[in-house]
Amino acid sequence: MFTVSQRLASIDVTLLQFIGAIMGATPEPFDLVLFGGTGDLAMRKLLPALYRRHCAGQLPPDGRIIATGRSEMTTPAFLSRVEEHFAETLSDEEFNSPDREDFTQRLSYQQVDASDVIGFDALGTALAGREQVTRVFYLAVAPQHFVTICQQLHAHDLVSANARVVLEKPLGHDLASAQRISEQIGEIFDEDAIYRIDHYLGKETVQNLIALRFGNMLFEPLWRREWVRDVQISVSEQVGVEGRAGFYDRTGALRDMVQNHLLQLLCIIAMEPPASIEANAVRDEKLKVLRALLPLSGQEALRNTVRGQYRAGAIEGAPVVGYQEEDGIERQSRTETFVAIRAELENWRWAGVPFYLRTGKRLQERSAEIIVNFRDVPHSIFDRTYSTGHPNRLVIKLQPDEGVRLHMLAKSPGDRMQLRPVSLDLDFAEAFQQRPADAYERLLMDVLRGRLTLFMRRDELYAAWRWIEPILEAWQESGEPPKPYTAGTWGPAASSALLGRENANWHEEA
């Protein structure tokens, strides 16, 4: 039997653990080696993310960041590049913070060229004597360098017992290349030391979706085929290829966005409640979703997918060129910049429910959202005008604003029984009055703390490729070019028709 004070003490400990888990404990001392340290990702996302966590007091005093790049450069020269980028990326308040000086003390630069095997000895010298601290190798470089870098790290005896490697996407071009990369890296790093980053999983609303589904009783009974009519996952971008023409033209929207980001969102939406938030418990459930995806190949793939490519048009009034006119893109390129898919899951919870996935560049708006459309009432007792359509939809908005909105019908004031759609809004910015952490802030801290829950496991990666590959093959075999769409629209008309078949529409409300 517990006494009251024992009970209180145990509650305190649980509460502290809970708060610790939410706030995140300060990680152990670390050395973070950033390959691609002068690249776009490092400058625009990774270093600002680390700086913000530094300002929040979450980095231990003994935490060093060693940026590496192929160019020969001194640390002061590197620091002035960082400063230039920070001036562009950070708010004035962040940029002028006295913490910036402190942060730069953590940074140094080291020339390392994986292809010519230059600089690994010097890197070894920089890391020497610190085998006990967490050692992170973050590979923000093109994937063709992943294996060579890992092999060189191993050959130079730099993979200490506490070492982790972070891999940026794309992880392969198809299943075979993903397997090749994973197997070769797997010879050097244990699976638990490999962090495959998908920055969509670090987005605040995605984690909120986990909280919404598994922290509340409300939705769970409704979260199934009996109550859900369809689910839409839509990520639309206004940007074009953004100076990454070579990469994008070889990749296309299916590989660039669907294989990873959209399928990961689908997993979070569709998975069964995991037994805990522990990494493998969550990843096991996500894997089951990927394995339950109804395979799409041949004619079925063509019938259930739409590929598009943008032509010249305008984004918010400003003219933009078509994809084939972009610098560095093949004039006759058949790479898709838009894709829409009708997917289905073969399991008890979701059989028959369409999961519509859509993503594209140069679309009308920048927006990422997940829509759960609930079924209509079986019989309406109200005036027909108000009872058609699908009154209940849950809109989970990832960007540009973050929030959750539940649409329903309510009576409008007055003496008549008139129903009108209204929504219950949860605007995170308003509710928490706190800047939501950028995806990379969260994920980098998870790497430093050794938490794998939000990172993809090897079998998930393979399962995603297994589903994607037959679609790519079907497109290839059909010989059809992608359907053109005007920049600044919502993609090819066939994308609306894909849903129109089932009397559904894309949710396109601002």
Residue 169 beta carbon to ligand BG6: minimum distance, rounded to whole angstroms: 6
Query: How many residues contact ligand BG6, by CB under 6 A?
Result: 4
Per-residue binding letters, 454-483, with ligand BG6 (x by CB under 6 A): ------------------------------
Q: Is 261 a catalytic residue?
A: yes
Residue 261 beta carbon to ligand BG6: minimum distance, rounded to whole angstroms: 6
d(CA 196, CA 453): 11
d(CA 43, CA 41): 6
Closer residue to ligand BG6 in complex, CB, 163/454: 454
Binders of ligand BG6 among residues 158 to 217 (CB under 6 A) are 199
What 8-state DSSP symbol labels residue 390? -
DSSP labels for 326-368?
Answer: STTS-TT----SEEEEEE-B-STTTTT--EEEEEESSBSS-EE
Give the active site residue among 261, 379, 390, 407.
261
d(CA 146, CA 430): 42
State the amino acid at position 54 in one-letter form: H
Residue 371 beta carbon to ligand BG6: minimum distance, rounded to whole angstroms: 17
Closer residue to ligand BG6 in complex, CB, 58/367: 367
State the amino acid at position 296 in one-letter form: L
d(CA 235, CA 146): 28
CA proximity to 487, closest of 319, 252, 358: 319
Closer residue to ligand BG6 in complex, CB, 123/139: 139
Sole binder of ligand BG6 in the list 204, 256, 441, 446 (CB under 6 A): 256
Whether the CB-CB separation of 218 and 404 falls below 8 Å is answered with no
Closer residue to ligand BG6 in complex, CB, 390/507: 507
d(CA 35, CA 68): 5
Per-residue binding letters, 56-95, with ligand BG6 (x by CB under 6 A): ----------------------------------------
Sole binder of ligand BG6 in the list 31, 204, 230, 237 (CB under 6 A): 237
Per-residue binding letters, 258-297, with ligand BG6 (x by CB under 6 A): ----------------------------------------
d(CA 109, CA 36): 11
Residue 256 beta carbon to ligand BG6: minimum distance, rounded to whole angstroms: 5
Exposure pattern of 71-81 as b/e (b: 16+ CB <10 Å)? eebeeeebbeb
Residue 316 beta carbon to ligand BG6: minimum distance, rounded to whole angstroms: 17
Closer residue to ligand BG6 in complex, CB, 201/228: 201
Closer residue to ligand BG6 in complex, CB, 256/469: 256
Residue 36 beta carbon to ligand BG6: minimum distance, rounded to whole angstroms: 14
d(CA 97, CA 99): 5
CA proximity to 358, closest of 509, 231, 250, 173: 231
Should residue 326 be labelled a site residue for ligand BG6 when binding is judged by CB under 6 A?
no
Residues marked active site are found at 261
Q: Report the interface residues with ligand BG6, using CB under 6 A.
A: 199, 237, 256, 368
